[in-house]
Structures are given as C-alpha cells and as structure tokens.
Amino acid sequence: LSNQSKEAFIDWARYDDSQDHFCELDDERSPDAQYVDLLLNPERYTGYKGPSAWRVWNSIYEENCFKPRSVYRPLNPLAPSRGGDDGESFYTWLEGLCLEKRVFYKLISGLHASINLHLCANYLLEETWGKPRWGPNVKEFTRRFDPIETKGEGPRRLKNLYFLYLIELRALSKVAPYFERSVVDLYTGNGHEDAESKALLLDIFRDTKSFHMHFDEKSMFAGDKKGAKSLKEEFRLHFKNISRIMDCVGCDKCRLWGKLQTQGLGTALKILFSEKEIQSLPENSPSKGFQLTRQEIVALVNAFGRLSTSIRELQNFKVLLQQTR
C-alpha cells in the first residue's frame, strides 16, 4: 500500500468509529466473531418458535415502538384478547402519533412480516432420513396473515411489508452517488471480481432510479431544528436497542438473519438521513461526511434481497391459495 492509501485507511477507520450508527456493529476483531457464508446458510424455518421467540418480538415492540404499556399491541394473533379490546385501541393510539413514530412502527412491523414470510415459504414439510423436503406451507401462511385468523392484523402486516420495501428501495437510489465515484472499490483481492461486483451493484441502482414511487423522507424530522434533532436521536437509539435485542435470539441461524436484516434497515435509514452529505462527497478522494463499512454494504444489499424475496413469495402464496379454494 502507498503511504497515501495507508493514511486514507486510518482516516476511514477513525471516521467509522466516530459515526452515530443506527445499529450495533459487531467487532470483526472480537474472538467471538464468526464468518458465515450466507449462500450455504439460507434463511428458512428452523423450528425456533414458542414463548422464547415471542419474548424477543414482544420486547422489540414493547420497548421500541414509542408505545405506553397501557396500550395493547395484538402482536400474537393467537393470544387471548384483553376484555373487550380487539386490538383497535392500539391503532387508534398509533394514528395520534407524529409521522416519524408511525413510520418507525411500520418499519418494524414490515420487518416482522418479511421474516415470517421467509419462514412460511421455506418450511420443513417432511423430515425424511437424509433428505428433508422444504417448500411453501400454505397453512402456516394463513395462520400468520389471513384476515380472519389474525383478526384483521395480517393484511396490515403485509401493507407494512410493502412500505418497508419502498423505504429500502429509496435508500438504494439515494446511495448511488456514493458508489458511482471512481474512488470507491468493492475490494475483495481480485481486481476482475471487484469490477464485476461494482458493475452489478450500479445496475441495481439504475433499476431503482427507474421506479419513481419511492417513500419521500423529506417530510420526516422537518419540524423545528431542536425538536427534530431530539426525535432523530431517539429514533436512532430505539433502533440500536432492537439490534441488541436480536442478540437474545436462541437460534443461531435466526439470529444471523434477524441481525442482518435489522442492520440492513439501519443502514437504509442512515442513508436517507445523510442525503446532503452524500451529495457533497468528493469524486476522487476518500469519503468525508459519509462512509459505509463493508459490513453495512453487505447488510444493505442482502436485506433488500430478502425483502424482494418476500414480495415474490407473497405472490406465490396468492396463487397457491387460489388453487386450494
């Protein structure tokens, strides 16, 4: 490496360490860190369910969605209702929140729906000796998303899934200028693969720009500067707490994909709230004002890939449901 490159790396590392990340970034130098090939460990049903799994999601909703404990959140569609409350009080309360807090809830709900869809679409249907059979489980999909089975909750979850998809799509289109600069190299040690990977990534960005119905984040945190800054910081801290809660997931594969998708969403939010910094980046010198780590780039792309898969699998389930009627 040239002395200039070494100085640049030190500068990048110093900048990364000083940033207010939206997620807890695992330390790659930690003795407990593990490298995982995502292609060899696909996200699918693992059997991790029941009270332990519900405690994780309940903690995420209860601690982070700006919700007072007095308001019932009908998270589990199979849970008994509390008195005469059918869960509508939650949505009455939610509509009274500011735009930013409603958006936060919808993002978490959309993430939850997306993960549930993956599990339903790649379910262990039959465990024969040495040859397990995986595929879509219509019954499980119905249990989690059918309007009647979920007391009207399922369709809301799916709407939030589409909302989350639009948010991350918007982030990809916004971050394009960062990667379009010649100074940005997706370094792997193989020059040919680096160039090919960057070309593929830029193709994705071009596709996202051709779709104009993105979420417009300009209306968020647009109030008085002091209040907006305080709310944005609260937003960030809630999101960091969610990534910590994901560490409590007892299933290794579930924790892996849960944290990856959480970090991908956190990276998307970081991008959307850094538009000015991205636009003012220098063309031929190290990034100052905005920087993405390798970990954030991997999470961003894979999280969007998971959401895209969710949308596709949802269409597949619609076809399967029509065939079973």
| 109 carries a ligand binding annotation | yes
Which of 301, 296, 277, 292 lies closest to 202 in space, CA to CA? Answer: 301
Q: Are 243 and 24 a contacting pair, CB within 8 Å?
A: yes
3-state secondary structure of 134: strand
| 30 carries a ligand binding annotation | no
| 55 carries a ligand binding annotation | no
Amino acid identity at 105: Y
- Alpha-carbon span 308 to 155, nearest angstrom: 18
- Alpha-carbon span 289 to 293, nearest angstrom: 13
| 14 carries a ligand binding annotation | no
| 29 carries a ligand binding annotation | no
Q: Which tokens sit at 87?
A: 């869960």
| 112 carries a ligand binding annotation | yes
Please identify which residue in the block is written with the tokens 């193989």: 190
- Report strand pairing: 123-128 vs 131-135: antiparallel
- Alpha-carbon span 95 to 105, nearest angstrom: 11
Count CB atoms within 10 A of the CB of residue 135. Answer: 11
Strand partners, 127: 132
Strand partners, 82: 85
Active site residues: 251, 254
3-state secondary structure of 48: coil
Give the DSSP H/E element, type plus range, for residue 59.
helix 51-64
**Whole-Å CA distances, 210 to 17, 200, 310:** 35, 16, 21
Q: Are 11 and 286 a contacting pair, CB within 8 Å?
A: yes
Burial track 293-305 (b if 16+ CB lie within 10 A, e otherwise): bebbbbbbbbbbe
Instruction: Could you list the residues known to form a binding site, using ranges.
Output: 44, 46, 57, 109, 112, 144
- Residues comprising the binding site for FAD? 44, 46, 57, 109, 112, 144
